[in-house]
Structure 1
Amino acid sequence: MATQNVISSLGRVAVIGGCGFLGHHIVNLLLERHPQTQISVLDLRTNANRNPSPSVSYHDADITNYEQLKLLFSQIKPDVIIHTASPHAFVKKEIVAKVNIDGTKNLLKAAQETGVKVFVYTSSASVVLSPKYDLTNADETWPLVTGDAQPEFYTTTKAYAETAVLEANRTTDGFLTCAIRPAGIFGEGDVQLLPPMIHAYYNRQTRFQVGSNDNLFDFTYVGNVALGHVLAVQALLHTHKMLPTVPLDHEKVDGEAFFITNGQPVYFWDFARAVWYECGDRLPLSSVWVLRQDFAWAIGGILESIFWILGRKPKLTRNQVRYSTMTKYHSIDKAKKRLGYEPIVDLDEGVKRGVRHILAEWEKDETQVKGKKIQ
């Protein structure tokens, strides 16, 4: 697999959501590893995270508008689609479903009708997450958890979209698909995982811990997730050259899903403390107050009820209690064997890069005061 890194061009690649957190890291990695690739970035708004390279063009596009997509694909003629676009999990359910499910189906249809060869979808490791059991070295044989069995509507929509993508594999001549399932993405440009942890440091909340910290959890540096996507594109393009041959089961990439993590599960609060340490925290563990999970769950429920009346979100919720005390880590053996995946940035270095980047950005932002967002 090492020889793939010297391929100068992967053809014409369209990165959907390429101005977003993960998307712009994929664009940068494509340029770094395959500098002759022609990249088209499609996003609802393309004014953020723009790469100045002449090899990258930017196009405002709404993936819920099929006609617009088909016209644009007819113009840019992509060989490859990398679909990373997704709304935040906390927006209205109708928007989440419209973008994640309908938008993905629009992209698939437009891609198939305009001669796209390869389609790589950013799914989520949480598509196999159930409230009934922990994830202990979960692999791709674990069943999807959706509908009434899945408390997170956002996760259900990601699972339905993934299913649509994988079912579209080989349904038209030369159309190959796969899905990448990242877990706990963080890094430069992160707006969901690291910022709340950094705010907790500046709000002096690092002396509290929920649960006994015996639960292993996967966090994944964004550059490694980008690498997983790029390797998937390479593997699918290689398979495309071999058509109509179908690879052996143990080699197959098309029609498959792959967990991508750092391969370094850590105790949940150890990761948080690594983030706080990078911010400057030196609080000894002997000073940490441990809240029992059941007690914190009850407090979270009470706070949610009170803040719901006020139209606000509390700083402690039952979901936060659940995620900070559950075991959730995955096997990446399949990605290693079939994609040639090996993480390129370890967890410690990823934390340093992510925290330092966020703090540097906050220094420039008038709405931030020592990492505390002005309300």
Structure 2
Amino acid sequence: MASSNNPVKSLGHVLITGGCGFLGHHIVNLLLERHPATRVSVLDLRTTHNRSSSANASYYDTDITDTETVKSLFAKLKPDVVIHTASPIMIAKNEFHYKVNVHGTKCVLEAAQENGVKAFVYTSSASVIFDPKSELVNADETYPLITGAAQPEYYTTTKAYAESAVLSANRTPSNFLTCAIRPAGIIGEGDVQILPNMVQAFHKGQTKFQIGSNDNLFDFTYVQNIAHGHLLAVNALLATHKMLPTVPLDSEKVDGEAFFITNGQPVYFWDFARAVWREAGDTLPISSVWILSQDFAFMVGGILEWVFWAMGKKPNLTRQQVKYSCMTRYYSIQKAKTRLGYRPIVDLDEGVRRGVRFILDQEKKAGEKNGQ
């Protein structure tokens, strides 16, 4: 495996699906920074934003659920590596989750298998082992996938199905190698789910509330660490490919495997929220925080859901949010450390700082534009 401190200049031709998205464009940028001679092809539904200025990056507006279009494009581009990050956000409709995450992944897989791709890295999710009735304490890759009726998040079920398809495709054909990266709680520049919601809570004056006793550890991960994990996986698969038909020892095997990637810094949930709020400008002392019991907040969330449903809107507090904010949910990254050589390259405090400052800068720019 090539060291990230002294990388090879080129990984050949790397195709990245979803490469204009939050995680995807960070992978593109880090890849071109570390391996500047690599040819990069980015596939996304729309490629008008988050584009690299590198001459080595090409962009293609592509619907990955269109089998014939995807296969035709792969036959033309002939990539050596595929990093498949494309996925809708969690709040999308169920049928769209299935169409993109399951059908779309199978389309990309088949095109890769038919066109000589050597290495295929899939962006899965740490939530694929999440049972909403059980807490996750340093959970590792031996935990079973939770899908179907046991999994209330249909998005997560489709991510698990897609991951299974990718790992099952490993070595079919024999020189086609796959693995999956399972990120947990991604934050950073371009985040559209975690940090923006927390910053909005600050703007609305909601930082004076805490639900539960704040004794539950949670994993959040800075986006560049996730990108770093993907590139380590690519390097490891390519190194294995060079040794074919040799099969690595189980303790070293990367192909056909899944890996949790986090910051390795589980933090108490409300401590993380307050760190975000402080970076956004909150000065409220801890002594002024109102601590609501989980049961009370759950009841309030249920009432708000009913009222807002009647108005055709979504409330700021839901029963699901109450439940998740009070659960312990963190993962072991020992397997990634051992087999990929993974270590976080940016700590959580710096990740929060970068992510919140990005949001505040965007808000400032929007305010200046509207004021003109």
Q: Could you say whether these structures have the same fold, taking a TM-score greater than 0.5 normalized by the shorter chain as the test?
A: yes
With normalisation by structure 2, the TM-score equals 0.98
Show the counterpart of 2:169: 168
Show the counterpart of 1:323: 324
With normalisation by structure 1, the TM-score equals 0.97
The answer to whether the Cα contact below 8 Å between 1:18 and 1:24 also exists between their aligned partners in 2 is yes
Letter in 1 for 2:254: V
Take 1:181 and 1:367, find their aligned partners in 2: how far apart are those partners?
38
The answer to whether the Cα contact below 8 Å between 1:182 and 1:260 also exists between their aligned partners in 2 is yes
Show the counterpart of 1:42: 43
Letter in 2 for 1:244: P
Query: 1:54-203 residue pairs with structure 2 within 5 A?
Result: 54-203=55-204
Show the counterpart of 2:250: 249
Shift of 1:301: 1.0
Shift of 1:311: 0.7
Take 2:293 and 2:368, find their aligned partners in 1: how far apart are those partners?
35
Show the counterpart of 1:12: 13
The answer to whether the Cα contact below 8 Å between 2:145 and 2:160 also exists between their aligned partners in 1 is yes
Matched residue SS, 2:358: helix
* Structure 1 position 301 matched with structure 2 position 302: yes
The answer to whether the Cα contact below 8 Å between 2:2 and 2:8 also exists between their aligned partners in 1 is no
Matched residue SS, 1:365: helix
Matched residue SS, 2:181: strand
Letter in 2 for 1:345: V
Query: 1:165-314 residue pairs with structure 2 within 5 A?
Result: 165-314=166-315
Shift of 1:131: 1.5
Take 1:347 and 1:8, find their aligned partners in 2: how far apart are those partners?
29
Q: Percent identity?
A: 69
Take 2:49 and 2:334, find their aligned partners in 1: how far apart are those partners?
35
The answer to whether the Cα contact below 8 Å between 1:14 and 1:41 also exists between their aligned partners in 2 is yes
The answer to whether the Cα contact below 8 Å between 2:124 and 2:180 also exists between their aligned partners in 1 is yes
The answer to whether the Cα contact below 8 Å between 1:80 and 1:119 also exists between their aligned partners in 2 is yes
Compared with structure 1, are the counterparts of its residues 182 and 272 closer, same or farther at alpha carbon in structure 2 (3 Å cutoff)?
A: same
Matched residue SS, 1:107: helix
Matched residue SS, 1:119: strand
Compared with structure 1, are the counterparts of its residues 140 and 369 closer, same or farther at alpha carbon in structure 2 (3 Å cutoff)?
A: farther
Residues 269-301 of structure 1 show CA distances to partners (whole Å, capped at 9, x for unaligned) of: 001101111111111111000110011111111
The answer to whether the Cα contact below 8 Å between 1:362 and 1:368 also exists between their aligned partners in 2 is no
Shift of 1:3: 3.3
Take 1:206 and 1:89, find their aligned partners in 2: how far apart are those partners?
25
The answer to whether the Cα contact below 8 Å between 1:139 and 1:330 also exists between their aligned partners in 2 is yes
Shift of 1:173: 2.8
The answer to whether the Cα contact below 8 Å between 2:2 and 2:235 also exists between their aligned partners in 1 is no
Take 1:236 and 1:14, find their aligned partners in 2: how far apart are those partners?
15
Matched residue SS, 1:98: helix
Letter in 1 for 2:133: K
Take 2:174 and 2:251, find their aligned partners in 1: how far apart are those partners?
23
Take 2:207 and 2:369, find their aligned partners in 1: how far apart are those partners?
19
Structure 1's unaligned 5+ residue stretches are 371-375
Take 1:244 and 1:2, find their aligned partners in 2: how far apart are those partners?
20
Show the counterpart of 1:373: none
Shift of 1:369: 8.9
What RMSD in Å do the two structures reach over aligned CA positions? 1.4
Structure 1 consecutive aligned stretches of length 4 or more whose deviation exceeds 4 Å: 366-370
Compared with structure 1, are the counterparts of its residues 205 and 298 closer, same or farther at alpha carbon in structure 2 (3 Å cutoff)?
A: same
Take 2:25 and 2:266, find their aligned partners in 1: how far apart are those partners?
25
